Structure 1
């Protein structure tokens, strides 16, 4: 736990929208990578999630982390900040965290990167632009690069773009198993498999409706006991 505490202290000074629960999950996922593929992060901003992934990798098998981001922001950022360049802060934060040797920054969009990317991927973290078409493109472009048994993770799944991609594409895929939403976070995770079982497919459909129910509960006024039942149900299957 001392290692986790240290990473938390480091990342607390880094701007970003990743909470500690999500960071610890990324750390554990990266630490569990076996070396059959690399770690790919789509969307880095100023490096908060990158540091969690890199520290986890260093605690495990020291798998290379590829951090893909043009560092010019996405549409939702540019709507409020016309000029964005996060690259200098990103590099500075990696150096501050002493992970720059394990992280390979790729200052391009994920679509520009995928054509020339030859390494198999064991852990794929999708947290780029959140509009539906961008998330869909990230998933369709990169999921084929994920090895069998590899892990795909989405952040900000309460946004419409990631939510719709997960519902329409990910959970309807016959190559998805062990799917779930991380309690206390906006993270969705799933393992890639050659072909899932009928029970996997049914569970994935059930997960769609349970997630919708949970999001609905968060928007309406209900007795705390009712909300607690819904949230506990989601926590149980996550």
Structure 2
């Protein structure tokens, strides 16, 4: 079931960078994955724009969306960089803090009860994780270090038949950073994943074999 106009409106009103057509593709993948009854997991939450879509799919299926973010902003969101938003800086500590805005986003969308928000760094959380998930959405830091750690940390937790979704995949370096593209290629070259769909920079892959 596609998102309702209210959910789409909440998505468009939320701070973030994902365009609507990619969001619809994410929601479609999340809806399919949620039918397994397994949690849907997002790495890189920012202010919760994409979380709305995962949570809505989880709500419809009676499962849960889990988000993982340290909420201090990725490298390109720091002062002096292209995607910096000064309204998200905590005036007390002088650092980015997207957690309050994220919580307001979920409240406005009426989806707080369908999300578990983990505040921490992705590799640390992945090392302690024990539950299989039906979907892994990687949209965290875009350096090779961070993208690789997210892929290596979370791909092994994806259940057979589950979906790996990677955002900001740009084959042409002129269009964007290459780290997400490199983990996308790595997933395909591993033989453990097959491609399901391409929607601009959003790639959906299905786990068809063990390994990562």
Q: TM-score range by the shorter chain?
A: 0.7 to 0.9
User: What TM-score results when the alignment is normalised by the length of structure 2?
Assistant: 0.84
Mark the structure with the bigger radius of gyration. Answer: 1
More strand by share: 2
Number of equivalences: 192
The structure 1 residue matched to 2:142, chosen from 130, 148, 153, is: 130
Task: Answer whether contact 2:37 2:63 (CA < 8 A) is retained.
Answer: no
Q: What is the distance in 1 between the residues matched to 2:21 and 2:167? A: 12
Task: Answer whether contact 1:4 1:24 (CA < 8 A) is retained.
Answer: no
The structure 2 residue matched to 1:146, chosen from 145, 158, 161, is: 158
Task: Answer whether contact 1:126 1:155 (CA < 8 A) is retained.
Answer: yes
Query: 1:50 Cα shift?
Result: 0.1
Corresponding residue of 1:22: 22
Which runs of 5 or more structure 2 residues have no equivalent in the other structure? Answer: 85-93, 171-176
Corresponding residue of 1:224: none
Q: Does residue 1:63 correspond to 2:75, yes or no?
A: no
SS in structure 2 at match of 1:73: coil
Higher RCO (CA 8 Å, separation ≥ 6 residues): 2
What CA RMSD, in Å, does the superposition of the two structures yield over aligned residues? Answer: 1.9
Query: 1:79 Cα shift?
Result: 4.7
Query: 1:29 Cα shift?
Result: 1.9
Task: Answer whether contact 2:147 2:179 (CA < 8 A) is retained.
Answer: yes
Task: Answer whether contact 1:178 1:191 (CA < 8 A) is retained.
Answer: yes
Corresponding residue of 1:201: none
Task: Answer whether contact 1:27 1:57 (CA < 8 A) is retained.
Answer: no
Task: Answer whether contact 1:36 1:120 (CA < 8 A) is retained.
Answer: no
Q: Does residue 1:177 correspond to 2:194, yes or no?
A: yes
Query: 1:4 Cα shift?
Result: 3.2
Q: Does residue 1:186 correspond to 2:198, yes or no?
A: no
Query: 1:38 Cα shift?
Result: 1.1
More helix by share: 1
Task: Answer whether contact 2:2 2:27 (CA < 8 A) is retained.
Answer: no
SS in structure 2 at match of 1:76: helix
Task: Answer whether contact 2:37 2:62 (CA < 8 A) is retained.
Answer: no
Task: Answer whether contact 1:148 1:192 (CA < 8 A) is retained.
Answer: yes
The structure 2 residue matched to 1:85, chosen from 97, 115, 129, is: 97
